[in-house]
Structure 1
């Protein structure tokens, strides 16, 4: 009996040692803090050939986590397009977008490099430390074109101001003529005088309106010449200036490479610079030829348009002045005849008395 009690007490103590984990290592069933002694990390077998369920769940979680991380990394590094294959084959066709992305990056890189070189060339030209290409035949024509554009714009603005002022003066003539006509009816002794002046003012109103309309037609033609014909040529001028700056930028780079030493590292750069320079030179030549053709066409069109518009403006002003002069002469003659007629004179109240 004592032996059985002794064994029972020993078994209770062993159960207490197994089931009561210590505080320093809550995940382990022993009193040591050694991680390697934790039963979680050791496959516990209940029977022969059977693994503990806890180790199986941990292995499954670890495998699924690693699979998700690998899939995410693959999606970030290789953006692909997946399309199904033929029906019944079970195959999948994968299209990679790396080529498209690399092409876009290459275009952005070339554009950035070109912009940097052009900006540097412009700054060097403004600071007087860079050379620029000047066409002795084309450059004076461009300066004349810019000067003509400014002068034509000033003429158009002045013509618009004149047309608005003539319109205002015509309205004033009309208002004055209406007032004189009313006074002619209300003042019988001065009926002739008020009537003649009212008629003259009304004629000046009509002639002024015709002149203002002619000037507005002139300004419309000038605006068409400025805003369409010349502006279209100025677009080619801007393209020519841009091509010239790029040409000078690549030319300066090629000159710097030619002045430097030549070895195995600089020869590929020199060949690439020579190739880029030839491309820019061809582009510059083409834009120059296009601009020359545009300038020739503009010169012919400008002469024709200005010839017609200036002739119409001059004829309108001459007609306005001549008609007003003729009308005023007839009005003066009529006024002199009416005023010289003694029947129109009335006796004074002193003479009547």
Structure 2
């Protein structure tokens, strides 16, 4: 049906007469309506079949149709003269003209309402994600502000004696003992560092004095023996002093680790425990105040929420309290063990040095696995420079 209609339309268009007016314009034909209707019918059929089949049909129509170069446009009807005949061979250009409206009738993949919908969906997704982050931050700040307000209120109430607080007398006594012990150990550490610095300066002075005595022994023949004895004595004292200095440095290093690391770690846990205790008392007081008020629907909802917060902070408080008890126990055991070893080292080293027992002093260092600095390392260590 499509081939026959295409052939008939093209044949009719090629053999029809087009009247031309005196000014060169073509007049209206009676057959225009028929051609237009046929073209519209052909176009609708092409759209139903598809673009690929439509293209193939159009090629077949143009091949089977008449040769446009052999036709002519007649002016004035069938009985006109040859002057009105215009040969089509003189017309330049293609036989088929480009129609810019054709592409507008074909839907293009990737554009149109579907693409607009996907773009709007992606923009809405990004907007929802941004809004979700903002809401999350707002809720975190709101929660922090409410918690800070409750804790500040509880702390002020405790300070002025208006509010109650949870008290663990035994645990708080142990915490106070630890803080007092840390202060005393810090004093021992400070004095031990001062002793190290002073003793280091004394050893350096003895070393310089021994060198001076040895030099004078060579330059003073009449006092050679006296200067020589003193030079040997100062060198021996300098050697023993360096050995004792190694023992004192080890003592200072161990005390520093105990005070500034082990005890400090336990005190950090204690600080977290005290903050948890304050939060627990704040939410406990809030729950007690709500429980004393009226029992309407709004208040019951607030009481239920306060009860949940109370349970959360109670569990946190009890967990940190258990951690503090365990750390205090292990700290006490570690402190006794470390200090027993370090005090024994300090006593034996000092006694052997001032007794002049070089063998016992060296044996003390071997007992505690202390290695001295290599000879010639006169520069003080970073611990000695403190």
Alignment match of 2:141 (pick from 108, 132, 151) = 108
CA–CA distance in structure 2, aligned partners of residues 104 and 190 of structure 1: 87
CA contact (8 A) 1:240 1:291 kept: yes
Alignment match of 1:233 (pick from 232, 255, 266) = 266
The residue aligned with 2:41 is none
The residue aligned with 2:251 is 218
When residues 325 and 101 of structure 1 are mapped into structure 2, their CA distance, relative to the original with a 3 A threshold, is: closer
The residue aligned with 1:276 is 309
Q: Deviations along 1:11-54, whole A, 9 cap, x unmatched?
A: xxxxxxxxxxxxxxxxxxxxxxxxxxxxxxxxxxxxxxxxxxxx
Residue 247 in structure 1 maps to residue 270 in structure 2? no
CA–CA distance in structure 2, aligned partners of residues 87 and 311 of structure 1: 86
CA contact (8 A) 2:273 2:317 kept: yes
| 1:153-172 pair list within 5 angstroms | 153-172=186-205
CA–CA distance in structure 2, aligned partners of residues 128 and 212 of structure 1: 54
Q: Give the deviation of 1:324 after TM superposition.
A: 5.8
**In the comparison of the two structures, how many residue pairs are matched?**
241
Alignment match of 2:339 (pick from 288, 296, 306) = 306
Alignment match of 1:203 (pick from 236, 257, 264) = 236
CA–CA distance in structure 2, aligned partners of residues 218 and 162 of structure 1: 11
CA–CA distance in structure 2, aligned partners of residues 181 and 312 of structure 1: 34
CA contact (8 A) 2:192 2:252 kept: yes
Q: Give the deviation of 1:144 after TM superposition.
A: 1.0
Q: TM-score, normalised by structure 2?
A: 0.59
Q: Deviations along 1:35-91, whole A, 9 cap, x unmatched?
A: xxxxxxxxxxxxxxxxxxxxxxxxxxxxxxxxxxxxxxxxxxxxxxxxxxx978534
Q: Which has the larger radius of gyration?
A: 2
Query: Which residues of structure 2 form unaligned runs of 5+?
Result: 1-108, 360-386
SS at match of 1:265: helix
The residue aligned with 2:167 is 134
CA contact (8 A) 1:243 1:284 kept: yes
CA–CA distance in structure 1, aligned partners of residues 276 and 295 of structure 2: 29
SS at match of 2:168: coil
Q: Deviations along 1:197-239, whole A, 9 cap, x unmatched?
A: 2211221111112111211111111111122211221221111
CA–CA distance in structure 2, aligned partners of residues 99 and 157 of structure 1: 54
CA–CA distance in structure 2, aligned partners of residues 114 and 192 of structure 1: 82
Query: Which residues of structure 1 form unaligned runs of 5+?
Result: 1-85, 327-353
The residue aligned with 1:319 is 352
Q: Give the deviation of 1:259 after TM superposition.
A: 2.5
Q: TM-score, normalised by structure 1?
A: 0.64
The residue aligned with 1:262 is 295
CA contact (8 A) 1:164 1:212 kept: no
SS at match of 1:128: coil
SS at match of 1:137: helix
Question: Which deviates further from its counterpart, 234-243 or 179-188?
Answer: 179-188
CA–CA distance in structure 2, aligned partners of residues 127 and 173 of structure 1: 62
The residue aligned with 2:330 is 297
